[in-house]
Amino acid sequence: MKSLEEIKKIREEKRKELDLRVNLKADCHEKHILVCRGTGCTSSKSEDIIKRFRELVKEKGLDNVKIIQTGCFGLCAKGPIVIIRPEDTFYAMVKVDDCEEIINTHLIEGKLVDRLLCKDVDGTLVKKLDDLSFYKKQERIALKNCGKIDPENIDEYIAFDGYKALEKVLLNMSQDEVIEEVTKSGLRGRGGAGFPTGKKWEFTKMAKGEQKYVVCNADEGDPGAFMDRSILEGDPHSVIEAMMIAGYAVGANRGYIYVRAEYPIAVQRFGKAIKQAREYGILGDNIWNTGFSFDIDIRLGAGAFVCGEETALLESIEGRSGRPRLKPPFPANVGLWQKPTLINNVETYANITKIILNGADWYSSIGTEKSKGTKVFALGGNVVNTGLVEVPMGTTLREIVYDIGGGIPNGRDFKAAQTGGPSGGCIPKEYLDIPIDYESLSSIGSMMGSGGLIVMDDTKCMVNLAKFYLGFTVDESCGKCTPCRIGTKRMLEILEKITQGEGNEEDLKKLEDLCENIRNASVCGLRSNSSKPSN
């Protein structure tokens, strides 16, 4: 158990120690080698790279060199990534056999290992992380600590203002003031629907009931999406802190995070973060003698896409088959175990502490009139720089694909981008300059969704793409309602007929009718969005 004063002391002393992580002019003899240990880089043996670095540092007696595992830096196409601070040198696609050369050449001789420097999209060698065009139009808020801190070290989180927002809330703000700040910020739910976060918090606070719950939706079932996973892997304490702030605001003392079991690194790190927070007295009873109590448990999902829908998620937490409930009543009034329940997704929570610390006006100054702040996207498909990006709302699709993503490989032309997962739509070439925000995407028949953004070049067949997503929805249908259970199968049969060269004009009319009926008659919000085709 640590008192609030001890937490403040850790923040002050540890921040001085870690100043070289953010201050590239830091006057110190210490070096930090940061190695990405997100899922992508781990699959490319970054764990072995860390082990080899530590062996070499010990062998060579380099007491001034520390090896740090981090979360995702974002540029997954160049992993495994190694950053050396404070000089900010960026080494890409590092292998275990490269470790000794980096130690000998960079750390001992003071020279760069040129062959491992990252090439930018124009072919130039880039020495520093922030010099890459991939990062220049990004603004990292939800991803602020990812790639900067060791996600398994609570002291590092505290050093970078961790739990400072919770301190501010518990000591200086009322429940209504917290909700007002979130409302004024303009933050909307990042799970797909885009509902105003402050409104949802207000509804839950107003709901009658002595027992209330806070839930974090980390199910993230869209093909190609890995935004929430990366936040949990790289900055788990930010979600814990935000859930606690939400609990204080709505009057809840218990939280649950629902995360799919296919995310083992995220589950392990979040579990470790919960344990650390309990040991420090941050989670538990009478936190910092304020009278506020809160604790969090993890619930694992089996990977059902439908459990991304909030009421199906609640059913699964309660131990039943994950199938959506009819609404109303909404979870804010009748949620987990029939009690008022607040549900937000990982990315939504990841914005909360920054809003509390920096103010609603700061956050609302970013983005567009109706879509405030930033959005994290998992950028994949036919694009040079695949990875995780965070951009201000209103950034155009062209900027994401070409300025950040580096364009289409092999000189091919852009054909379309798919957003919103299986419930979303496709954005064709004529809309390349559309601003990425809730209203603009909806106006052309697509949607923001949770943040998957799949780029396709001119070799891709859109009918095959539609068939792929329909095959996914057929497999993932929970079967509760007839329009989805039967209708999606009929749609898939028609698309299979078309791709076999046996389609006719009548099939197109049938598809449109089925789309409209499924969209209007299905129980949950994961129904097809195809009734508003985006060309």
Query: How far apart, in whole angstroms, are the C-alpha atoms of residue 96 and residue 107?
Result: 16
Q: What is the mean pLDDT of residues 505-523?
A: 89
Tens of pLDDT, residues 371-419: 999 999 999 999 999 999 999 999 999 999 999 999 999 999 999 999 9
Q: What is the mean pLDDT of residues 305-317?
A: 92
Percent of the chain exceeding pLDDT 90 equals 79
- 417 CB contacts (<8 Å, ≥6 apart)? 381, 397, 401, 426, 427, 453, 454, 455, 456
Which pLDDT belongs to residue 529?
46
Confidence category of residue 27, pLDDT binned at 50, 70, 90 = low
List the structure tokens of 84: 């050396």
| Spatial contact of 508 and 502, defined as CB atoms under 8 Å apart | no
Q: What is the mean pLDDT of residues 96-113?
A: 96
Confidence category of residue 19, pLDDT binned at 50, 70, 90 = confident
Q: What is the mean pLDDT of residues 85-104?
A: 95
pLDDT at 368 over 50: yes
Q: What is the pTM of this model?
A: 0.94
Query: How far apart, in whole angstroms, are the C-alpha atoms of residue 32 and residue 88?
Result: 10
pLDDT at 510 over 50: yes
Tens of pLDDT, residues 207-250: 999 999 999 999 988 888 899 999 999 999 999 999 999 999 99
The CB-side HSE value for 534 (13 A sphere, CA atoms) comes to 28
Which pLDDT belongs to residue 527?
59
With H, G, I as helix, E, B as strand and everything else as coil, classify residue 232.
helix
**Residue-wise burial string across 187-216, b where 16 or more C-beta atoms lie within 10 A, e elsewhere:** bbbbbbbbebbbebbbbbbebebeebbbbb
Q: What domains sit in the chain, N to C, each tagged with a CATH number?
A: 4-134 (3.40.30.10), 162-364 (3.40.50.11540), 374-460 (3.10.20.600), 463-521 (no CATH)
Query: CA triplet 155, 161, 165: central angle to 5 degrees?
Result: 120
Q: To the nearest whole number, what is the mean pLDDT of the chain?
A: 93
Distance of CA 179 to the CA centre of its chain: 23
Cα dist. 217→79, 139, 220, 300, 317 in Å? 28, 24, 8, 11, 11
Query: How far apart, in whole angstroms, are the C-alpha atoms of residue 357 and residue 36?
Result: 27
pLDDT at 535 over 60: no
